[in-house]
Structure 1
Amino acid sequence: MSEQQLIESTRDPATAVYDFEVPAGEPWLHELKAGQTLRIVDLKGNQAVDTLFYNAADPSERYSAADTVRGQGNIYLTTGSRLRSDQGRVMLTIVADTCGRHDTLGGACAAESNQVRYALDKRPMHNCRDNYLIALAESDYDMGKRDLTGNINFFMNVPVTPEGGLTFEDGISAPGKYVELEAAMDVIVLVSNCPQLNNPCNAYNPTPARMLIWD
C-alpha cells in the first residue's frame, strides 16, 4: 500500500521555461499544457503542497482522489501514478519522485477543520481553503468554492491506522526533494503552499516551494 518508486529526473532546471518560488503559506495558480512537465520542489523539507487539477478546457472535469486511488489500487502517489479525473481520464502522470510517497486522503486545512481539530481560537488562522478561494477570485476563471474538491498533499505524511483512521505525522521529505508530473491534457494547477501551524505536516514551519515547467 505504501511502496515507493524513487526515480530521479534528468531535466536541467536551467532549461525550464518557467521557474517560480511560491512563498510560504501562499497560493499559486498556473496552466500546464499537454506534454509539459511540472516539477514541485520541497525547498526546505516537510512542506505540504496542497494541489488541485482541473481540465483547462472544461474545469467541471477535475482531479478525483477516488478514481485515482481505484485506478492504481494504492492510496499513496509516487512515480508511475496516473492522476485521474472524475471522468476517469488520465490528467497527469508522475514521472519522477525523490520523496517516494504523497497523500491523497488528508484533505486541505480550513477554518472549520482547524477549529474542530485544534481549538476555537485557531479558526481565524490562514488556511489552504482560503488560499484556493483567493487564487480563484483573483483569476479569470469562473470558479469558486463549489469547485473545490479533494486535493493531493504532495510531501505530506498521513499514515492510515489499523482501524482505518488517519494521523498527521512528521514528514518523510527533506530539503530539495521533488515530484515531477507530465500533463496528458491542458490543466489548471491550483496550489496552496500550506500555511498550517498546528500539525507536523510541515514541521510547524511553512516554507517556500519551487515550481519549474519544461516543454
Structure 2
Amino acid sequence: MPLQGQALVSGTVEIPPRSGAAFVLETGQTLIVTDPGGQQVADLLAYAKDDVREVVSNGRTFDYEETIALTTGNTLWSNRSNRMLTIVEDSVGRHDFLLTPCSEATFKHFYPTKPVHRGCFGNLAAALEPFGVEPDAIPTAFNVFMNVPVDGASGRLRVDPPTSKPGDHLALRAEMDLVIGLTACSAYDSNGGSFGPIEYRIEG
C-alpha cells in the first residue's frame, strides 16, 4: 500500500489545505508542483533516499548558484554538495529559500490571537517519519511560490501574498533518488490569509 501522499507516475495527487505528504522521487523523474487555486505556498524538502542524513541545503544552494532568486535552470544542492533537484520549468519565478517551515512556535510568535497549528513543520515531521526522518533533521524548506521580498538597503524581510495564479506550476528534475516532503502551507501571511490545496504529479 502506498504511503501517505504516494503518487502514481501518471496520477495527480492533491495535498489538502494545511497538510503534507512524503513520497519517493527517482533519478531522472520530474516532480510538478501546481497551485490549483492561486496564492498558495508549498514547503518542499528533499532527502537522499539511501541516506536521509543528506538533505537539501539553502546555504549550499545559495553558495553554488550565486543567487537567492532561484528559478528555471537553477539547482537545489545538498548539505554534502551534491545536486538534488534541477528546476526545469517555472511559471511564477518567485520562491523563498530563507524562512524555516512554520510550526507551533511560529503561530505563538506571529499569530498570538489565532488558534495554534502544527504548521508545515509538524506536517512534514509526520509525513517523513516513515522514511526515518526525525523532526530535528528538518531544515529550511524550499518554499515554492512564497513571496519574501528583501530590502536591499536594510536587509529586512517581508512576507507578501504569493504571486502565483491558478494553475501555476514548478517542475523539478531529480538528480538522485530522493525522499520528498511537500506541504500545502499553513501560515496566514505566507498565503495571503487563506488556505488552499497543492497538487503534484510525477513524470518520467
2:139 to 141, 149, 161: 149
Whole-angstrom distance in 1 between the partners of 2:132 and 2:203:
27
Whole-angstrom distance in 2 between the partners of 1:136 and 1:189:
8
Matched, 1:106 2:96: no
**Structure 1 equivalent of residue 5 of structure 2:** none
Residues 1-215 of structure 1: pairs in structure 2 closer than 5 A: 17-119=10-112, 121-122=113-114, 124-137=116-129, 139=130, 141-161=131-151, 162-197=153-188, 199=189, 201-215=190-204
Partner deviation per Cα, 1:126-178 (whole Å, 9 max, x = no partner): 411111122133x2x22211211111100010011231121101211111000
Preserved contact between residue 48 and residue 179 of structure 2 (Cα < 8 Å): yes
Preserved contact between residue 111 and residue 122 of structure 1 (Cα < 8 Å): no
Whole-angstrom distance in 2 between the partners of 1:123 and 1:56:
35
Partner deviation per Cα, 1:79-103 (whole Å, 9 max, x = no partner): 0110000011100100001011211
Whole-angstrom distance in 2 between the partners of 1:186 and 1:31:
7
Q: Could you tell me the percent identity over the aligned residues?
A: 32
Question: How far does residue 123 in structure 1 lie from its aligned partner after superposition?
Answer: 6.4
Question: How far does residue 37 in structure 1 lie from its aligned partner after superposition?
Answer: 0.4
Q: Which runs of 5+ in 1 are unaligned?
A: 1-15
Q: Secondary structure at the match of 2:52?
A: coil
Whole-angstrom distance in 2 between the partners of 1:17 and 1:58:
27
Preserved contact between residue 111 and residue 123 of structure 1 (Cα < 8 Å): no
Question: How far does residue 202 in structure 1 lie from its aligned partner after superposition?
Answer: 1.3
Whole-angstrom distance in 2 between the partners of 1:149 and 1:123:
24
TM-score by length of 2: 0.91
Question: How far does residue 18 in structure 1 lie from its aligned partner after superposition?
Answer: 3.3
Whole-angstrom distance in 2 between the partners of 1:143 and 1:171:
29
How many residues were matched structurally?
A: 196
